[in-house]
Structure 1
Amino acid sequence: MTGGEGPHSYAQNSSFRGEVFEANKKLIEEAIVKNFDPMTYIGPTNVIRIADLGCSTGPNAIKLSAHQIPEFHVFFNDQVSNNFNTFFKQLPPNRNYFASGVPGSFLGRLFPKKTLHFVHSSSTLHWLSRVPKEIADRSCSAFNKGRSHHVNAPKEVEDAYLAQYRADLENFLHARAQELVSNGLMALQIATVPDVILESDIHPSRAYELLGSTLMDMARVVIEKPLTV
């Protein structure tokens, strides 16, 4: 994600994800009211711990309206390359919770065992940890020559992406299972596509296809007409 607060930064270009969060905010609040009683978790430290995984730098991080008893500690997580300086400058100065930054991939452990009471992640789990190695292997049937994505690619390519996603999601859930307290809650907002719609027909897929085609044309020009200094 592009850091800072300039016209091309994530902070200035994340309204769509903000709308996604607001659309599901009521469902999350209802689930918390129905299934989570903070008073049952009060221990010697009197603290409820919350993690927002994949917070990025924009204004769409989880927001709280909480009383002082118990106290709330919110951990904002993203990759080590995230612009945490910009992010923390956007937090309200009079917030009624304690805030900390936790850099690192959420596909692995980030917190001690049984320390989190609530975990939230919005519009983040569609990102893969890496490009499937099969699609760059010329000897493999999943070799994805001429594309930057799996849209309109052979089934072997799609299966390679799917296998990588399953492995990443399994790692994510395994890590959170260890970090959440008993009866803790987790709210995940994940982009999905109905089975009746072809993946090649959805808007993001068309955008990826157009972007990939443009990148291939640019690479072809450089190869055919090398730039000189």
Structure 2
Amino acid sequence: MGASATTTPELYAMNGGDGRFSYAKNSFLQGHNVTASKGKIGEAIAEKLDLEILLSTSKTIRIVDVGCSVGPNTFLAIQNIIESIERKYQAQELNINQKPEFQVFFNDLTSNDFNTLFSSLPPDRQYFAAGVPGSFHGRLFPEGSIHFCYSSIALHILSKVPEELLDKSSPSWNRGRIHYINAPDEVVNAYATQYAKGIEIFLDARAKEMVPGGMAVMIFPANPTGIPYSQTYTGAMFELLESSILDLAKEGKISEAQVDSFNLPMYVPSLEEMMELVQKNGCFDIEKMELTSPGVLHESMTNTSSMGKAIVMHPSKKVQLFVVLKRK
């Protein structure tokens, strides 16, 4: 797939700037995920990343955060990764003349607020930074150029909304709903099929871009097998959103046609679904794939929003996939 291939509409980018409604000011939950996953990422790098192989052809370690958005979370995640790689370098006692340098690529849609992102770069960073605009559902880099790929709370976003959801003649027409929560099987299957297509493209692109032995770490919402999606935290959150939108339609503030024209471009897979997609791709070894929970938020965070309180009240419902892959 060529570098220009993308199907993700630009309207999916997060709110830019640093104002009241910006992503930078409303992403503390995502930040909590970065902190909660720090130990797991460090462990994966210590146990599975072979720097001797990676540094045999390059003295620069190239890292990419796909779906970086804007705000401090991406910088914290990158710093955690670099510190873990440096510890690994010291532990391996490599016979190399100099420590590796780091080049970090921050990737998101072309409409992402890269100006705000780069104006807040840490002044004491120990890496060279660059922005790479474009959808991660497609090629972003030259072949064999990336050593470490990272993604947090991004891979549940679809490459596009399934077209059949808007087709009144289709059994998958999602009338009166904005998602697949409590929807007929045809709607759920349309979402699952579109997700599989997007992940197939994602994995194919990363396989071409990554060097042999390179590592990919991905963290995103998951749906435990056997638990109705509506009973998970993500499902419950979207169900509340759908209920609010339907109330607006009942009050005449928006039309039923507007409701029918809107579908959330998000799908939350199970561990089994993701494992099957990675195995089908065939270019990566699965070093780790497990369901995790980011844990209970700090009390000071729960006071900032009802969403935070909901997570503390129902921590078992917030489940994520932690995936570590190595390029064959």
Task: Classify 1:43/1:195 alpha carbon distance in 2 versus 1 (closer, same or farther; 3 Å).
Answer: closer
2:102–2:127 contact (8 Å) kept in structure 1: yes
Q: What is the RMSD of the two structures over their aligned residues, measured on CA atoms?
A: 1.8
Structure 1 residue 223, shift from structure 2 partner? 6.5
Moved over 6 A (4+): none
User: For residues 46 and 73 of structure 2, what CA distance do their matches in structure 1 show?
Assistant: 22
Of 111, 114, 128, the match for 1:98: 128
TM-score, normalised to structure 2, is 0.65
TM-score, normalised to structure 1, is 0.91
Amino acid at match of 2:15: T
Q: Which stretch of the first structure deviates more once superposed, 167-176 or 192-201? A: 192-201
User: Where does residue 191 of structure 1 map in the other structure?
Assistant: 221
Amino acid at match of 2:200: E
Structure 1 residue 217, shift from structure 2 partner? 3.9
Gaps of at least 5 residues in structure 1 are: 225-229
Q: Does 1:31 align with 2:44?
A: yes
Identity percentage of aligned residues: 47
Q: How does 1:80-95 map to 2 (within 5 A)?
A: 80-95=110-125
Of 14, 19, 24, the match for 1:11: 24
Structure 1 residue 36, shift from structure 2 partner? 1.9
User: For residues 69 and 254 of structure 2, what CA distance do their matches in structure 1 show?
Assistant: 36
User: For residues 2 and 73 of structure 1, what CA distance do their matches in structure 2 show?
Assistant: 26
Across the two proteins, how many residue pairs are aligned to each other?
224
Structure 1 residue 26, shift from structure 2 partner? 1.1
Q: Which stretch of the first structure deviates more once superposed, 31-40 or 162-171? A: 31-40
2:54–2:213 contact (8 Å) kept in structure 1: no
Task: Classify 1:215/1:31 alpha carbon distance in 2 versus 1 (closer, same or farther; 3 Å).
Answer: same
1:74–1:100 contact (8 Å) kept in structure 2: yes
Q: Does 1:112 align with 2:125?
A: no
User: For residues 25 and 19 of structure 2, what CA distance do their matches in structure 1 show?
Assistant: 7
Q: Does 1:60 align with 2:73?
A: yes
Structure 1 residue 10, shift from structure 2 partner? 0.7
Structure 1 residue 121, shift from structure 2 partner? 0.4
Structure 1 residue 210, shift from structure 2 partner? 2.6
